[in-house]
């Protein structure tokens, strides 16, 4: 029997200033498999470490789908291989999979890297996003959705499984426990209007404006100090689910790292100097706050 080949996957990346627009071509069915995960790993690594990259927009080449859902064959075979490894080591934990294998741990690591990366990730949802496609969108920092040809949700219960890429956790943090529970139990996706109303997406716009709106949001937030972006994301994503005293400790660690850094010290000294010069706090000078927001920074 010949082994079915995984569809060829291409992630075409274009730089638009400090924002990368990544268009995902995951084959005619637009499914998320191991090849896509590997290419996204490289993209996230670039976004996190390249000082010239401040934001990433993820979109699709498919006319009506962002990501259909996971490659079910990949999921099924991964589970079967895991059981086989367990049975071959009945008295021990399952041995690790081969280094090149993309399993849950590696997939979770990819999405967690996005959550802690010093870049803003925006999902441009011009079409449907189910299962792992929705989970990729939930792992982004913002989501812009088309007002037609689009829906988003977790249908795994209909296949006798449940979300495995973080959907039960990230959707819950976005929309609350009860809404998340009912949606995942039911398996029915959110329409654009429903998703916007409950905060599952940040904007709903005409289909031909989705990428432009996502890029505009990415450009705007990407103007902020890159190390600050990463520190803020880690504090919110990782600290927000900790007990309050532990979350405060994480925030303090991230704050102090920025507070003593050269850039933070330089900007704060410049702020003090401008205060002395004008006799007023710069953010309270007429038009000062608006100017700082447009530039993404205070003067100096």
CATH superfamily name and code, 10-222 = 2-enoyl-CoA Hydratase; Chain A, domain 1 (3.90.226.10)
The DSSP-derived string for the chain is -PPPPPPP-EEEEEEETTEEEEEEE-TTTT-B-HHHHHHHHHHHHHHHH-TT--EEEEEESSSSEEE--B-HHHHHHHHHHHHHHHHHTTTSPPPPPPTT---HHHHHHHHHHHHHSSSEEEEEESSEEETHHHHHHHHSSEEEEESSS--EE--GGGGT----SSHHHHHHHHH-HHHHHHHHHH-PPBPHHHHHHHTSSSEEE-GGGHHHHHHHHHHHHHTS-HHHHHHHHHHHHHHTTS-HHHHHHHHHHHHHHHHTSHHHHHHHHHHHHHHHHHTS-GGGSTTHHHHHHHHTS---
For position 299, what pLDDT does the model report? 84
End-to-end CA distance of the chain: 67
pLDDT at residue 1, rounded to an integer? 34
| Structure confidence by residue, pLDDT tens digits, 22-39 | 999 999 999 999 999 999
Sequence-separated (6 or more) residues with CB below 8 Å from residue 245: none
List C-alpha distances in Å: 172 to 58, 181, 200: 22, 8, 10
Which of 259, 146, 134, 160 has the alpha carbon at shortest distance from 196? 146
Angle, in degrees to the nearest 10, between helices 244-259 and 262-278: 80
| Segments making up each domain of the chain, as ranges | 10-222, 226-295
- The predicted structure's pLDDT at residue 86: 66
Over the chain (300 residues), the average pLDDT of each successive run of 10 is 64 97 97 95 98 98 96 82 69 66 90 98 98 98 97 96 96 98 98 98 98 98 97 97 96 96 95 95 95 90
Q: According to the model, what pLDDT value does residue 272 have?
A: 96
CA 101 – CA 107 distance, rounded (Å): 10
pLDDT of residue 91: 53
Stated pTM of the model: 0.92
pLDDT value of residue 85: 67
pLDDT of residue 93: 61
Q: State the pLDDT at residue 89.
A: 65
Relative to beta strand 19-25, strand 10-16 is antiparallel
pLDDT of 297: 92
The whole-angstrom separation of Cα 233 and Cα 141 is 9
């Amino acid at each position: 029997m010949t082994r079915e080949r995984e569809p060829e996957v291409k992630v075409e990346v274009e730089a638009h200033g400090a924002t990368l627009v990544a268009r995902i071509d995951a084959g005619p069915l637009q499914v998320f498999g191991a090849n896509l995960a590997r290419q996204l790993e490289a993209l996230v690594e670039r976004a996190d470490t390249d000082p010239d990259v401040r934001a990433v927009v993820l979109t699709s080449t498919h006319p009506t789908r962002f990501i259909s859902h996971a490659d079910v064959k990949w999921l099924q075979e991964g589970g079967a291989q895991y059981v086989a490894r367990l049975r071959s080591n009945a008295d021990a934990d399952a041995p690790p999979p081969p280094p090149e294998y993309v399993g849950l741990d590696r997939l979770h690591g990819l999405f967690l890297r996005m959550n802690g990366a010093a870049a803003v990730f925006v999902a441009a949802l011009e079409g449907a996003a189910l299962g792992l496609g929705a989970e990729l969108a939930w792992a982004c920092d913002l989501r812009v959705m088309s007002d037609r040809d689009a829906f988003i949700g977790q249908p795994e219960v209909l296949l006798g499984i449940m979300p495995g890429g973080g959907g039960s956790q990230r959707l819950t943090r976005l929309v609350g426990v009860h809404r998340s529970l009912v949606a995942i139990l039911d398996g029915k996706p959110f329409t654009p209007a429903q998703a916007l109303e409950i905060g599952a997406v940040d904007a709903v716009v005409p289909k031909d404006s989705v990428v432009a709106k996502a890029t505009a949001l990415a450009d705007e937030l990407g103007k902020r100090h890159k190390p600050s972006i990463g520190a803020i994301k880690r504090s919110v994503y990782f600290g927000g689910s900790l007990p309050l005293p532990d979350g405060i400790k994480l925030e303090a660690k991230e704050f102090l790292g920025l507070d003593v850094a050269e850039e933070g010290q330089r900007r704060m000294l410049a702020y003090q100097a401008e205060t002395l010069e004008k006799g007023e706090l710069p953010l309270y000078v007429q038009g000062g706050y608006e100017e700082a927001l447009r530039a993404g920074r205070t003067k100096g």
